[in-house]
Amino acid sequence: MTSSLNDAQALLGHRFADEKMLTEALTHRSAAGAKGAGSNERLEFIGDRVLGLVVAEWLIEKFPAEREGELGPRLAALVSKPALAAVAETNGLAALLSVAPGESKRGVRDQPTVLADALEAIIGALYLDAGLAPARDFVRRMLADRLDRQFLPPKDPKTGLQEWALKRALALPLYELVEQSGPPHAPHFIIRVTVGDASATGAGPSKRAAEQAAAAALQGLLPA
């Protein structure tokens, strides 16, 4: 793990006073103790909040004339799981994670959710060990290219699909619940969206997330 710790500290640009915290941030639940004790889930929890604060502060600074309605989509795009997973993959975070051998063979360390969670966890660890300023510097360095590409506020998939339909004088997208499963604490929804003669489905842990996934899927099928 020493090599991974050194590589992680080089990536973060910080030498940890408490390396156990960084070790925890790099430990997937499968490699932790009973009930996930010692995994990176707790650090992911705080890292998510630090990330949101830092990016919100950054957007206020970079786009002083924009209102909440424009800043919100920018924030959502920058801190989304796909965006964070891409950043983690680009920076080799998968190779630094501690994962149970069986889960590693199944490719768990390369799953987008696992990578995104790990990135949030190391942000949380950096914040707790060094404070907000180093965490801010790291986040800005990791997301600078993505923010620079945001010339206009991004639109969420549902908004984009609705505008596509309106431009073509079609009825507004129709969302239908196809399936709901899972326990109350971890529900799973499948939603179908239809515009004209085209339809697609999406899944997620909430109806809204599933609707967004369905809208994104349908937009990928429709002509520009």
For 25-49, the pLDDT digits (tens) are 999 988 887 665 788 999 999 999 9
Decide if 120 is catalytic.
Answer: yes
Domain limits for position 179:
157-219
> Do 36 and 98 have their domain in common?
yes
Within a domain: 142: yes
Is residue 224 situated within a structural domain? no
**Same domain, yes or no: 29 and 122:** yes
Looking at the structure of the chain, the number of domains it has is: 2
pLDDT of residue 218: 87
Q: Are 76 and 28 within one domain? A: yes
Cα R_g (the chain), whole angstroms: 20
Which of 91, 114, 148 is the last residue in one of the domains? 148
Q: What tokens appear for 137 in the block?
A: 């510097």
Q: What is the CATH classification number for the domain harbouring 131? A: 1.10.1520.10
pLDDT in tens, the chain (224 residues): 578 899 999 999 999 999 999 999 999 988 887 665 788 999 999 999 999 999 999 999 999 998 888 888 888 888 988 889 889 999 999 999 999 888 888 888 888 889 999 999 999 999 999 999 999 999 999 999 989 887 666 777 888 889 889 999 999 999 999 999 988 888 899 999 999 999 999 888 889 888 988 888 888 788 86
Neighbours of 72 (CB within 10 A): 15
The answer on 206 and 144 residing in a single domain is no
CA angle, residues 203, 104, 1, in degrees to nearest 5: 125
Catalytic residue from among 24, 44, 120, 129: 120
Question: Which one of the listed residues 48, 117, 129, 211 is annotated catalytic?
Answer: 48
**114/97 Cα distance (integer angstroms):** 10
In the chain, the amino acid numbered 107 is G
Q: What is the pLDDT of residues 82-104, one digit of tens each?
A: 889 889 999 999 999 999 888 88
Please tell me the predicted confidence (pLDDT) of residue 26. 95
Residue with tokens 């004209």: 196
127 and 30 together in one domain: yes
Indicate if 143 and 176 belong to the same structural domain: no
Give the torsion through C-alpha atoms of 97, 98, 103, 104, to 10 deg: 60
Q: Is residue 18 part of a domain?
A: yes
Q: Is residue 19 part of a domain?
A: yes
State whether 79 and 111 are in the same domain.
Answer: yes
Domain boundary among 148, 183, 200: 148
